Structure 1
């Protein structure tokens, strides 16, 4: 990032949207005193209403997602941009480009493989030149996954126990609503890839976000959306594990982290994500039913007749759960690995708050605060399109722990 003093330290872009407003509220309540924050979006009236509700005197910046000039001025005015404006494939390219050009750090919430790949191709080299850290996926997608593996690998390395091999994340508890924004993102991604074979290959490749896909080790089929026997992951697990809905994105982020770390996790590192559906004899039926249900949802959104029905029953963008539902939400991710020395390790990432809303607002805001206030603790990097683990690392771990999230790793 440029050393030039800028008008703002953090700009929240999309601050009048549901998650944007939650993120702005978290900053109003938790950002260190004196942090220079601005609210940005396309409606001055809506931004002023958010500012009044928060009881702050932050400036407002008007910038439409298609106005490249306004976005360039926004990026040049701040150290960090937080973007909550999605689908990012539709609205995000101009802003990420503006930040890369201006040397401004950037964080967002994307879970879109095609957008992230296009951003890497368009912005990585330029961001390395300007020093910008472009950090996608700083919410429920994909901080718990990326940071969970990060602390797991660190503990293994600290103990001299070799490198990671087969590693599985298991969602052992989860309570939260389905985001209308997430549904809209899925809808838009399917529209984009439906008639483009090249983009379908990008979305399907297990190494679609890696810096050099040809240099990745040949580890066979990754099985990102497969059902798994719990006992194959660890003897303490029972029943059949279902695929986790965001596995096809999170796994690619974690693999990019490994590659950007020069395969520090291991050249035999294989990673998958699953979800516990209980220990009953019915778990195989439930797990496979969930797998089929995910496939049916994707197929249904690609076919016009069923898409018409789904568009009317699924959550709409801009909507979200009540404050009480946000407080009652929670998630726990447990990670299990076997190392090259045969040792077994586990890690846990647990947080209170609706995963896609309350907890995401914390993770997104703290990611930006790391870039402003903890720069001396960041992993060494010239910049580029990075991941939470490679851009923020232990500095983010420390902030999230201080915010009440459990992030641990230990030998079994």
Structure 2
């Protein structure tokens, strides 16, 4: 990256729902001398957003850029060390900006939960980013930083203890939070992308579709994201039931890609899955079964409706619109706790806990994304470029930033 850039960080999509939350968080977290800019399509909306942020942002510059205008994206990328983008669905709107950052040697962070977008980014811009020195870091929100850093920190603990390679590893998600129209729109974008295209569907379904070299991946048998089981089958300390976690199919691919990018440092028998807590009440088995079945049925129905114009119009009418999301009270009442249980080749057992306050997809994601951007802009990081994951790009530097920001990230050995 050229040493002299006008800005340290540009936040693209600053007038959107998550963009505003991220901008507000940055006002509380940026160094006093940080050079920050807000970017989006409308100068008037950007000015209104900046005015609402208070005195810290008063001198932040405004940059007009549009996802449909490649020249504006290239110009923006060349002005800054880092671009943080909340403009999705990324399958529809994200690739031109990612490509502009890769070409300019500009570090990049997004919030995508779309494996197909990352797959396409790797195919199109991996070598460009490697050549320019750009760190293109996908999934820097609740999807998938807690997953990725939890396993990474367990790996670091096992390395320090010399307890061998990671083998069976399971994350259990506990959370309270809402869902925005933007999140739902991302899911729709993937359904529409795979509709009638079996090759795209196979990419979405394959556990190693984001691997840097699938021929090097371990042969550990079938790995499914569908779950319905007693929690104590994962660890004796747990009670109740677990079920399918809707983001498992994305997060697990990201974690497996990290293993590959680190030279399969986690181990050649590393087996990873994610599930969600369904509670301990007598009705928990029914709740767990209902969630698991509902996710499968919902995805199947959405995929069918996305194939035809009439079905897409129906989804437009019944689903929340992009740009909407949980109220402030709901966001503040949310929380998340991710507990990851791992066993190593020597039989050692570890537990990682990654937790935080605020709605995980929005309040907490603003912290996760904001700190990712600041980490890329200001911290000394591994000498690695290309299309990366949060752990492979930022590792312990990001862990420490998030701890300092009030999140709990700890690993214990049992």
> Same fold by TM-score, threshold 0.5 exceeded?
yes
Q: Please, which of 326, 330, 336 is the counterpart of residue 331 of structure 1? A: 336
Q: Distance in 2 between matches of 1:293 and 1:266?
A: 34
User: 2:3 maps to which residue?
Assistant: 4
Match runs of 1:250-399 below 5 Å: 250-304=251-305, 310-374=315-379, 376=380, 378-381=381-384, 383-399=385-401
Alignment of 1:195 onto 2:188: no
Q: Distance in 2 between matches of 1:130 and 1:380?
A: 12
- TM-score under structure 1 normalisation? 0.96
1:288: how far off? 1.6
1:62: how far off? 1.0
Q: Output one character per residue of 1:239-264: Cα deviation in whole Å (capped at 9) or x when no partner.
A: 33101110000000000000111111
1:300: how far off? 2.2
1:274: how far off? 0.5
How many residues are treated as equivalent by the alignment? Answer: 407
RMSD: 1.3
1:394: how far off? 0.5
Contact conserved, 1:300 with 1:307, CA < 8 A, in 2? Answer: no
1:308: how far off? 5.2
User: 2:98 maps to which residue?
Assistant: 96
User: 1:53 maps to which residue?
Assistant: 52
Give structure 1 stretches of 5+ with no counterpart. Answer: none
- TM-score under structure 2 normalisation? 0.96
Give structure 2 stretches of 5+ with no counterpart. Answer: none
Instruction: Please give the secondary structure, in 1, of the residue aligned with 2:362.
Output: helix
User: 1:411 maps to which residue?
Assistant: 413
Q: Output one character per residue of 1:131-169: Cα deviation in whole Å (capped at 9) or x when no partner.
A: 000000000110010011111111111111111111000
Q: Distance in 2 between matches of 1:352 and 1:43?
A: 32
Q: Distance in 1 between matches of 2:79 and 2:237?
A: 52
Q: Distance in 2 between matches of 1:157 and 1:281?
A: 41
Alignment of 1:155 onto 2:135: no
1:284: how far off? 2.5
Could you list the structure 1 runs, at least 4 aligned residues long, displaced by more than 6 angstroms after superposition.
none
Q: Distance in 2 between matches of 1:280 and 1:161?
A: 37
